[in-house]
C-alpha cells in the first residue's frame, strides 16, 4: 500500500513535482479519479493551510472529505499495546484505525512532535500506528519529524522562480518565543537532496538539526556569510535537537531583515507560514515583491493533489 510518510520512502518525487506543476495549470484535469471516494483528515493539532489546501486538493480530484479534530471532537486515543485503559483514553488506535478505514479510502493525519523526548518523537507513534492498523493509504500532514507536503510545495516554488540551473538556497534558523518542531526543516533538507543547488543550513550554536539528516550538507553558525549571494532564503524556527525541544535563545540577532536580504543576490524570501512578523522576519521583507510566502501556500493545494492523485492511480 502506498503511504506518504516522509520523502525518503516516497519513490516518485520528481514525477510528483511534475504532476503538481501540471495540476496547477489544470486543477480539474483528473476530477474523475476520486468520484465515489472519500479522504479522511484527522487533526491532532491546529492548521490553516494544510487543512484547507488538502481539502481543496481532494475536491479538485472529485473526492469527498471527512474531517475530525481528534484532539477536540474525537475520543482520546491510546497508542500503547497491552495498556489497561482505565484513565482518560477511551479508544485504542487499533480499533479507531480500522473503523476509519471503513469510511474512507485515504486517510491524512496531522500529529505534531511532543518535544518532550527525542526517542518518542522519532518513533512517530501516531503515524506508524495508523499505518500498521488502518487498511487504507496514510498521508502525512505534518508528523513529529516530517512535513512532506510542505516540502513538495516548496520545491515547486523554488523551481518556478530559479533563474539558473544551480541556485544558492539557504535554510536559516530564525527566532521564535516558543519551542517549535523540526518537521519543516527536516523535510526541506530531504527535499533539497532532490534539487540541483548549492544548499547551506545556517543556525546558531545549539540548533544543529539531526545530524543523520544533514550528513554531507554544508552547515554553518555564520548567518551573514551563508546569506551572501543567496538566490533563496528559507527562514524557519526550530527548537534545539541536541538539547531536545528547548528554546536556547529568543534575541533578534537571527531575524531576517532588509539589511540581511541585501547580502543576497536579490534573493527570494520563503517561509512555510504561519510566521510571527518582526520576530522571525521584518514586515519589510515579508511584504516585499521578493517574498514568495503566499505562492508557497498556494502550491500546497497542488502538492497535496499530486500525492492524492498518485495514490488514487495506484489503487
Which residues of this chain interact with ligand CP, rule CB under 6 A? 47-50, 142, 150, 272-274
CB of 141 to ligand CP, least distance (A): 8
* Residue 113 in grid coordinates: 512532535
* Residue 17 in grid coordinates: 513535482
Q: Which is nearer to ligand CP, 2 or 49 (CB)?
A: 49
The answer to whether the beta carbons of residues 303 and 149 sit under 8 Å apart is yes
Q: Which is nearer to ligand CP, 49 or 168 (CB)?
A: 49
CB of 92 to ligand CP, least distance (A): 27
CB of 235 to ligand CP, least distance (A): 13
Q: Which is nearer to ligand CP, 124 or 154 (CB)?
A: 154
Q: Name the 3-class secondary structure at 16.
A: helix
Q: What is the DSSP letter of 315?
A: -
From start to end of 10-122, where are the E strands? Answer: 38-43, 64-69, 77-78, 91-92, 106-110
Residues 6+ apart with CB under 8 A from 103: 38, 40, 66
CB of 183 to ligand CP, least distance (A): 9
CB of 150 to ligand CP, least distance (A): 5
Instruction: Give the integer Cα–Cα distance in Å for 222 and 233.
Output: 14
Instruction: Give the integer Cα–Cα distance in Å for 69 and 138.
Output: 17
Q: From 223, 295, 216, 294, select the one nearest 264 (Cα to Cα).
A: 223
Q: Which is nearer to ligand CP, 70 or 168 (CB)?
A: 70
From start to end of the chain, where are the E strands? Answer: 38-43, 64-69, 77-78, 91-92, 106-110, 138-140, 168-173, 198-202, 218-220, 232-236, 268-270
CB of 237 to ligand CP, least distance (A): 13
* C-alpha pair distances (Å), 272 with each of 189, 194, 241, 278: 14, 19, 20, 16
Q: Which is nearer to ligand CP, 50 or 140 (CB)?
A: 50
Q: Which is nearer to ligand CP, 214 or 299 (CB)?
A: 299
Q: Which is nearer to ligand CP, 219 or 273 (CB)?
A: 273
CB of 143 to ligand CP, least distance (A): 12
Q: Which is nearer to ligand CP, 47 or 64 (CB)?
A: 47
Instruction: Give the integer Cα–Cα distance in Å for 95 and 176.
Output: 39
CB of 190 to ligand CP, least distance (A): 16
Chain-centroid distance of CA 104 in Å reads 23
Point out the residue whose Cβ comes nearest to ligand CP: 50
CB of 199 to ligand CP, least distance (A): 20
Q: Which is nearer to ligand CP, 92 or 303 (CB)?
A: 303
The answer to whether the beta carbons of residues 219 and 207 sit under 8 Å apart is no
Amino acid at each position: 500500500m502506498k503511504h506518504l510518510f516522509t520523502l525518503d520512502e516516497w519513490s516518485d518525487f520528481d514525477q510528483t513535482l511534475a504532476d503538481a506543476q501540471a495540476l496547477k495549470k489544470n486543477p480539474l484535469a483528473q476530477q474523475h479519479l476520486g468520484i465515489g471516494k472519500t479522504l479522511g483528515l484527522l487533526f491532532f493539532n491546529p492548521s490553516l493551510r494544510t487543512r484547507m489546501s488538502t481539502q481543496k486538493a481532494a475536491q479538485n480530484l472529485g473526492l469527498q472529505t471527512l474531517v475530525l479534530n481528534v484532539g477536540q471532537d474525537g475520543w482520546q486515543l491510546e497508542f500503547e499495546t497491552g495498556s489497561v485503559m482505565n484513565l482518560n483514553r477511551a479508544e485504542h488506535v487499533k480499533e479507531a484505525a480500522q473503523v476509519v478505514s471503513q469510511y474512507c479510502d485515504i486517510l491524512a493525519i496531522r500529529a505534531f512532535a511532543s518535544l518532550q523526548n527525542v526517542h518518542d518523537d522519532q518513533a512517530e507513534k501516531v503515524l506508524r500506528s495508523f499505518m500498521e492498523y488502518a487498511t487504507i493509504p496514510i498521508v502525512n500532514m505534518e508528523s513529529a519529524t516530517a512535513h512532506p507536503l510542505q516540502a513538495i510545495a516548496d520545491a515547486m516554488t523554488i523551481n518556478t522562480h530559479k533563474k539558473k540551473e544551480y541556485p544558492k538556497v539557504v535554510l536559516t534558523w530564525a527566532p521564535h518565543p516558543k519551542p517549535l518542531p523540526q518537521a519543516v526543516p527536516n523535510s526541506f533538507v530531504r527535499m533539497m537532496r532532490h534539487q540541483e543547488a548549492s544548499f547551506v543550513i545556517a543556525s546558531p550554536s545549539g540548533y544543529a538539526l539531526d545530524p543523520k539528516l544533514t550528513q554531507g550538507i554544508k552547515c554553518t553558525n555564520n548567518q551573514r556569510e551563508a546569506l551572501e549571494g543567496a538566490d533563496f532564503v528559507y527562514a524557519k524556527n526550530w527548537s534545539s535537537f541536541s538539547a531536545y525541544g528547548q528554546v536556547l535563545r529568543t534575541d533578534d540577532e537571527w531575524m531576517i531583515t532588509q539589511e540581511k536580504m541585501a547580502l543576497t543576490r536579490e534573493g527570494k524570501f520563503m517561509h512555510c507560514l504561519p510566521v510571527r512578523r518582526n520576530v522571525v522576519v521584518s514586515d519589510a521583507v515579508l511584504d516585499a515583491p521578493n517574498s514568495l510566502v503566499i505562492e508557497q501556500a498556494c502550491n500546497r493545494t497542488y502538492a497535496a493533489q499530486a500525492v492524492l492523485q498518485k495514490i488514487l492511480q495506484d489503487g
